[in-house]
A and B are shown apart, each in its own frame.
Chain A
Amino acid sequence: EPEVTQTPSHQVTQMGQEVILRCVPISNHLYFYWYRQILGQKVEFLVSFYNNEISEKSEIFDDQFSVERPDGSNFTLKIRSTKLEDSAMYFCASSAERMGTEAFFGQGTRLTVV
Chain B
Amino acid sequence: AQSVTQLGSHVSVSEGALVLLRCNYSSSVPPYLFWYVQYPNQGLQLLLKYTTGATLVKGINGFEAEFKKSETSFHLTKPSAHMSDAAEYFCAVSDGPSGGSYIPTFGRGTSLIVHP
A residues touching B (Cβ–Cβ < 8 Å)? 3-4, 6, 9, 33, 35, 40-45, 48, 56, 91, 93, 98-100, 102-108
Q: Are B106 and A42 in contact (CB under 8 A)?
A: yes
| Closest Cβ neighbor of A35 among chain B residues | B106
Q: How far is the CB of A42 from chain B (nearest CB, A)?
A: 4
Chain B residues, Cβ within 8 Å of A42: 4, 106-109
Chain A residues, Cβ within 8 Å of B46: 102-104
Chain B residues, Cβ within 8 Å of A102: 46, 49
Chain B residues, Cβ within 8 Å of A33: 103
Question: A100 and B103 in contact (CB under 8 A), knowing A43-B90, A107-B41, A107-B42?
Answer: no
Query: 28 A-B Cβ contacts within 8 A?
Result: A3-B43, A35-B106, A41-B108, A42-B4, A42-B106, A43-B44, A43-B92, A43-B106, A43-B109, A44-B106, A45-B103, A45-B105, A56-B101, A91-B43, A91-B44, A93-B44, A98-B102, A99-B32, A100-B51, A100-B97, A102-B46, A103-B46, A103-B104, A104-B43, A105-B44, A105-B45, A107-B41, A108-B43
* CB-contact partner of A105 in B32, B36, B41, B107, under 8 A: B36
* CB-contact partner of A56 in B41, B96, B103, under 8 A: B103
Q: Are B96 and A100 in contact (CB under 8 A)?
A: yes
Per-position 1/0 for B85-116, Cβ under 8 A of A = 00000101010110001111111110000000
Of the four ranges (under 10, 10 to 19, 20 to 34, 35 or more), the interface on chain B belongs to 20 to 34
Chain B residues, Cβ within 8 Å of A99: 32, 96-97, 102
Per the bound structure, the CA–CA distance linking A42 and B49 in Å amounts to 19
Per the bound structure, the CA–CA distance linking A108 and B38 in Å amounts to 11
Task: Output the residue of A40, A42, A98, A105 with the most chain B CB within 10 A.
Answer: A42
| Closest Cβ neighbor of A9 among chain B residues | B41
Per the bound structure, the CA–CA distance linking A99 and B104 in Å amounts to 10
| Closest Cβ neighbor of A93 among chain B residues | B44
Q: With A43-B44, A43-B106, A100-B94 given, name 16 new contacts (CB 8 A).
A: A9-B41, A42-B109, A43-B92, A43-B107, A45-B103, A45-B104, A45-B106, A56-B103, A93-B44, A100-B51, A102-B49, A103-B46, A103-B104, A105-B36, A107-B41, A108-B43
